[in-house]
Amino acid sequence: MIQDRARERYIYKGHQVIRVRLITETQIIMLRPLHCLLLASAVLLCNSAPTDKHGGSDINCPLTVKILDAVKGTPAGFVPLKVNRKAADGGWTAIASGVTDATGEIHNLITEEQFSPGVYRVEFDTKAYWKSQGSKPFHELAEVELKAHAEGHRHYTLALLLSPYSFTTTAVVTDIHQ
């Protein structure tokens, strides 16, 4: 059996003496299983079912919108938006509307049942947002058309980077049933 004696070292700072206890090799070896357990727990938690701050699983929220104000570098909160689905005759049918929260996000716009394969258009009322910020924007509306595919469940995160004279959009499409 290995026996380590606790080692101590004294550090002198001016008129103070500080006693420092050094960790021995045996103590380090004994801590390794704990570190492995913590690491394994972290990995398992990271791979658990995706959830987000609205409290549900992404399976209940097939479309999430996030907006960032590029001028301030902060979330663009309280932006009104509408979601439309393209009809068979080529027209658009309004299926949902909402307003982003203070974090620039909106969840639970539509349900999994409502979000069938097809073409969708999300309209962002950018004029209302910039007016609330005291700016005069070039564009009054930002529109993004996207296609929801038929191959199984998909979760779409639509991100909009917004400024008074331009906007950029990107999407993250994930299959949470992998």
One domain, residues 38 and 64:
no
Domain housing 123: 58-174
One domain, residues 82 and 162:
yes
* 21 band by pLDDT with thresholds 50, 70 and 90: low
* CATH code at position 100: 2.60.40.180
User: Residue 16: its pLDDT value, please?
Assistant: 74
* pLDDT-above-90 percentage for the chain: 48
* 126 band by pLDDT with thresholds 50, 70 and 90: very high
One domain, residues 93 and 155:
yes
Compare 57 and 96 and report the one with higher pLDDT. 96
Q: Is the pLDDT reported for residue 144 higher than 80?
A: yes
Burial class for 58, CB neighbours closer than 10 Å (0-12, 13-18, 19+)? buried
pTM: 0.65
One domain, residues 42 and 122:
no
Q: Which residues contact 99 (CB under 8 A, 6 or more apart)?
A: 78, 79, 80, 81, 106
Q: Is the pLDDT reported for residue 61 higher than 90?
A: no
Residue 2 lies in a domain: no
One domain, residues 92 and 167:
yes
* 15 band by pLDDT with thresholds 50, 70 and 90: confident
Please give the Cα distance from 36 to 30 (Å, whole number): 11
Give the three-class secondary structure for 154: coil
One domain, residues 24 and 107:
no
One domain, residues 104 and 64:
yes
One domain, residues 62 and 115:
yes
Q: What is the mean pLDDT of the chain?
A: 79
One domain, residues 100 and 169:
yes
Domain count, the chain: 2
One domain, residues 115 and 155:
yes
Q: Is residue 66 within 8 Å of residue 157, measured between CB atoms? A: yes
Q: Is the pLDDT reported for residue 41 higher than 50?
A: no
Q: How far is CA 65 from CA 23, 30, 106, 152, 165, in A?
A: 50, 48, 5, 21, 20
Cα angle value 100/101/105 (rounded, 5°): 60
- Lowest mean pLDDT, pick from 19-23, 101-105, 122-126, 161-165: 19-23
One domain, residues 68 and 15:
no
User: Residue 175: its pLDDT value, please?
Assistant: 75
